[in-house]
Structure 1
Amino acid sequence: MTHSTPTRRDRSQPQPTQPLAVALALASRGVPVLPLRVGKAPFNNCPACAKNACGGRPNMKQAGPCTCPHPCHAWAAATTNPDVLTSTAWATAWRQAAAVAYHPAGVRLTVVDLDHADAITWAHAHLPPTRTVPTTRGQHWIYVGTMPTAHGVRPGVDIKSRMAYARWLGPGTGRMAPLPDAVRALAVRQEANPLRAGLASSPSTRAAWDRSVATGCRHTDSYVRTGLENGLALISAHTESGAGSQTFQVARFTAAQHGQCPGPCGLNALGEEMVAAAVAVGVPEPYARRAVTNGMGLAPRSEA
């Protein structure tokens, strides 16, 4: 009886560990990936990159000169390049890896991380259904679209998109829905408290809206001013909570009204009025400005 000769394994090449095999499969589909160590955290920076001494990677918030071949800088190291993933510089990390992470915004996704049963119950009541992935304690709800990452937006709820990583736990089930305004609003929501010294500051400058800054607006002065006053009244009514979220909604609605104008429409001046109204009911100025910026950035509009 003839026996086939077993194929000899080429021991000169490193054999993929399970996390690396998963990472290579994801990378082949265009998903930027990186290894996670025990504890679901990225690997520490190498000595040359410790404390960001190298300046960081070019795709980080503060662009830097880092050309380090190691998987440093957490989410910013995520890559789809198989040569990098299988490189000697990454080999030790993969041998020690406990899981694989991916950069959601790198594939135009946002992950709503629901950490426990109460958070899941809240999501079912307030967010549109989308693809879900079971986690150790809760679920990931995945939407199509990107936004700023924000942690602790509600008890047990984090948002992971730009400048973040999420653990890969499988493809999940269900059809992915477009990123809804309800999730975007969570990132700018700041529960307002009665104004106290040191809690909020007044905007240093307020540019009043008038026709001189809105030479390309197709609306009448009365239309713009009435809409602004109505919006400011809605913000001012939230004296106990929710003023940040309301500011976001007012900014979004205002931007949409000017979407067909040739511009400029003086939206910056309108936004300053919204910021001032939010600050007046206790929203810290940075949160108020972020609410206006994100709200006005949702709808196509003319330059302010």
Structure 2
Amino acid sequence: MTVTPEVLRVALALAAASVPVLPLRRGKVPFGNCPSCKDGACGGRPNMKCAGTCRCPAPCHAWAAATTDPHVLSSPMWLPVWREAVAVAYHPGGAGLTVVDLDDAAAVAWARETLPATRIVPTTRGEHWIYRGAMPSSNAVRPGADIKSRMQYARWLGPGVGRMAALPSAVRALVVKEDTTPARGEVASSLPARASWDRTVATGCRHTESYVRTGLERGLTLVRARTESGAGSQAFGVARFLAAQHTACPGPCGLAAIGEEIVTAAVSVGVPETYARRAVANGLEAAVERAA
């Protein structure tokens, strides 16, 4: 009896629980692409960031090949790979999950002091903290900590222990990477002038224009005040707070326009536009999920 049947058995059990899985070879890495997919020749999988047209039946493209289809997992193209596989990986984002990967004792200690308790899976060097809810992935969000969710895979190390909690805003905020504002004269982005929020984009909002504008201006002031550090995190918090005020509205409330104003404020104090947009989008999404 080889290890391959056991690896495949675990994969099929996870797939039956709606967890997309893929095989890992020695070194805890996915198998390489087939010749037709090598170097992006196929255009990439349709569910990747740069969506292509590839529908290769082999387990190419790492996390993007993860599947819950038992017929694919047991297909002639996958069976030879399972015979060489040494572990099973899963795509957290595809299962609606986020894994906070803590690589050492210091990172674990930080999580225990900072993050809400949730399901924990011991790893070789640290722990995986698993939350309900998906978000963008990002490595090295702080010393010894990675976020694995969308567009990444995590190694399956067992079901873990503890009750799984909803993805908290404290974890979402970790993907905002900027710690300091660039020195004066170093422009991170130059955004064109954008229309501000008004009632024309908020026909379903139950609040007065004065109420919304007052709250928004206070939030923008908080973001602009972060000229040395933390403007991205502040933008996340402002977006989350303002969006939460509209969860009971029939809508639309023009949250996209509010978000654009927050992004512009963050960029004006040196936050790279990519980070600003990510922080604001995560903040708006966090408010919606919290209200759900």
- The residue that corresponds to 1:4 in the other structure is none
Out of 260, 266, 290, the residue aligned to residue 272 of structure 1 is 260
- SS state of the match for residue 159, structure 1? strand
**How many angstroms apart in 2 are the aligned matches of 1:106 and 1:177?**
17
Out of 91, 97, 115, the residue aligned to residue 127 of structure 1 is 115
Moved over 6 A (4+): none
Equivalent residue letter for 2:166: P
Deviations 1:134-171 (A, max 9, x none): 11111100011111112221111111111211000111
Is the deviation greater in 132-141 or in 238-247? 238-247
- SS state of the match for residue 254, structure 1? helix
Q: Normalised by the size of structure 2, how large is the TM-score?
A: 0.91
Task: Output aligned runs, 1:291-302, within 5 Å.
Answer: 291-300=279-288
**How many angstroms apart in 2 are the aligned matches of 1:85 and 1:170?**
19
Q: Confirm or deny that 1:156 pairs with 2:152.
A: no
- SS state of the match for residue 54, structure 2? coil
- The residue that corresponds to 2:16 in the other structure is 28
Out of 182, 192, 197, the residue aligned to residue 204 of structure 1 is 192
CA contact (8 A) 2:188 2:270 kept: yes
CA contact (8 A) 2:3 2:86 kept: no
Task: Output aligned runs, 1:255-266, within 5 Å.
Answer: 255-266=243-254
Task: Output aligned runs, 1:165-204, within 5 Å.
Answer: 165-204=153-192
Q: Once superposed, what is the RMSD of the aligned Cα atoms?
A: 2.2
- The residue that corresponds to 1:89 in the other structure is 77
Equivalent residue letter for 1:98: V
- The residue that corresponds to 1:287 in the other structure is 275
**How many angstroms apart in 2 are the aligned matches of 1:74 and 1:118?**
30
In the TM superposition, residue 189 of structure 1 has moved relative to its aligned partner by 4.5
CA contact (8 A) 2:15 2:70 kept: yes
Out of 67, 86, 100, the residue aligned to residue 88 of structure 2 is 100
Q: Confirm or deny that 1:254 pairs with 2:242.
A: yes
- SS state of the match for residue 247, structure 1? helix
CA contact (8 A) 2:181 2:269 kept: yes
Deviations 1:239-294 (A, max 9, x none): 22221111011011111112233334333332222112211222111111121122
CA contact (8 A) 2:4 2:85 kept: no
**How many angstroms apart in 2 are the aligned matches of 1:262 and 1:18?**
51
CA contact (8 A) 1:192 1:244 kept: no
- The residue that corresponds to 1:79 in the other structure is 67
- The residue that corresponds to 1:118 in the other structure is 106
Identity %: 67
- Structure 2: unaligned runs, 5 residues or longer: none
Call closer, same or farther: CA 1:107–1:202 in 2, change over 3 Å.
Answer: same
Equivalent residue letter for 1:162: R
Q: Confirm or deny that 1:142 pairs with 2:130.
A: yes
- SS state of the match for residue 78, structure 2? helix
**How many angstroms apart in 1 are the aligned matches of 2:288 and 2:74?**
42
CA contact (8 A) 1:208 1:273 kept: yes
How many pairs does the alignment contain?
289
In the TM superposition, residue 15 of structure 1 has moved relative to its aligned partner by 9.2
Equivalent residue letter for 2:56: C
Greater Rg over alpha carbons, structure: 1
- The residue that corresponds to 1:50 in the other structure is 38
